Amino acid sequence: MSLLGVDTSPLHSAGPVNDHINFVYTFIFWTSVVIFFGVASAIVYFALRFRRKSDDEEPVQTHGNNRLEVIWTAIPFAILATLFGITASNMSFITSAPANSMKVCVEGVQFSWTFYYEDSCGTPHATSGGRVSYRPADPAVVSSGGGKLYIPVGKPVALEVVSDDVNHSFYVPRLAGQVNAIPGQPNHMWLQADRAGEFKGQCTELCGSGHAGMLLDVIAIPTDNFDTCLNQLRNKQPPSACTGGNA
């Protein structure tokens, strides 16, 4: 699977989690732009307006100005408080999955992803080679490999992200932020797709020689087809119903 020519820009949001992330990013970005040009303009203005016109000229000396001190303290504080408030007010939405979310366990291993549906990852168990695995012992648990995660359109999906070996990072730019997959430390995130389609992602934590090939697809399927898709996965059939088209 190649990412060449595929839209993976986080600015082209396709879900509510990334909408909130983009809102915070855009607000902070344009605030920074205004501050930069405001400060730069002030520096240029004062450098020209109050420049010394001769070597003998002594600039006016000002010792203490309560009004100025209040202004240059209050303005940065107001900017900082606003940015903090914007960020904090969105963080609870970004990090807390809705109560009606579908559960999926995301298991990373060099160099692939496996997804277990309608279940949490549970307790890891030892495997040969001294590694751990979160693969459920119950063979009835529906899963998909090959880096393909199937989700229903418009349904929130709560992900529990784990690793069997080294640190990985799960990231689908158009749907949500990224979260690390750390051995022995399950992490959590959620995402939702507002439209059918395939959304590309990748491991973003350097995890070994095959890191560049540790890609993933989140395939958002129309709700009417999703149960059929799960049944095909459950019965080890070709997932013909698990298609979302282009996003």
pLDDT at 82 (0 to 100)? 95
The predicted-structure confidence for 177-206, as pLDDT tens digits, reads as follows 999 999 888 899 999 999 999 999 999 999
The pLDDT of residue 2 is above 50: no
pLDDT at 193 (0 to 100)? 95
pLDDT at 129 (0 to 100)? 63
The predicted-structure confidence for 42-54, as pLDDT tens digits, reads as follows 999 988 888 877 7
Average pLDDT value over all residues in the chain: 88
Q: What percent of the chain has pLDDT over 90?
A: 60
Q: Is 247 exposed, middle or buried (0-12, 13-18, 19+ CB in 10 A)?
A: buried
Please state which of the ranges 161-175, 204-218, 225-239 shows the lowest mean pLDDT. Answer: 225-239
DSSP per-residue codes, the chain: ---TT----TTS--SHHHHHHHHHHHHHHHHHHHHHHHHHHHHHHHHHHT---STTPPPPP----HHHHHHHHHHHHHHHHHHHHHHHHHHHHHHS--TTPEEEEEEEETTEEEEEETS-----EE-TTS-EE---S-TTS-EE-TTEEEEETT--EEEEEEESSS-EEEE-TTT---EEEBBTB-EEEEE--SSSEEEEEEE-S--STTGGG-EEEEEEE-HHHHHHHHHHHHTT---TT------
